[in-house]
Amino acid sequence: MPRFCANLTLMFNEVPFLDRFAAAAKAGFKGVEYLFPYDFPKEQLAGLLAKHQLTQVLHNMPAGDWASGERGLACLPDRVNEFQASVEKAIDYAVILGCTQVNCLAGLTPQNVTPEKVRETFVNNLKFAAPKFKAAGIKLLTEPINCKRDIPGFYLNTTQQALDIISDVGNDNLFVQYDIYHMQIMEGDLAPTIEKNLAMIPHMQLADTPGRHEPGTGEINFTFLFDHIDKLGYKGWIGCEYKPLTTTEAGLGWIKKYLQ
């Protein structure tokens, strides 16, 4: 049966962030993820995880100035030094939090830079990062994100593009973070894509589309998809990275049988 973790950036927004750990545990979740841990002392977050017996499943590397619209550093030729420094910061947090996988956001495609240079920068940054994460016992992931609705201009958009990048990097510690919501928008064909590339997918995320709300609010047949993923023998977590249609608690009917 798939294991689901609560995304505390989008879920349980009815309470302040630090109270969401307790809310997730009370709802029955055993694992949590969120975009970034860096606004809080890592020891404080580790304490909340231990108190509520939660596994820190995933967080992202620092992604630049998120509030001003930046969405990652990895493909930006003029930010390589900042990217390299962010690798150490991400590892530092992940080790204390017991988090064994970290996602690298590619970033927005920079203007007035050739496509070749953008790709070269992304590949070289991942070549730098992957072995450092491996030495710390942490898997490095990178996530294709839709550029049609949520993040126009995002550099990494499809499963195959991610796999091609990973092939060029040539390190066995680089994987795909497969987001069901984003990939339904960009390419569809969810079940066979997951099956074909399962060995390269240690983590998934979900939301229904349109709307990016909980399963059952849109077009994706999650009952079929969860059964399919289970039959494939998927051992990773699935992060619930959706915006509740009303309140978080009111929208948890779909998951109750999986949390029992």
Among 54, 14, 241, which residue's Cα sits nearest to residue 45?
54
Give residue 260's identity as a one-letter amino acid code: Q
Give residue 204's identity as a one-letter amino acid code: M
Secondary structure (DSSP) of 69-130? T--BSTT-GGGHHHHHHHHHHHHHHHHHHT--EEEE-B-BPPTTS-HHHHHHHHHHHHHHHH
Q: Provide the pairing of β-strand 174-179 with 3-7.
A: unpaired
Catalytic residues: 143, 241
Tokens of 176: 């795909």
Tokens of 130: 């992957």
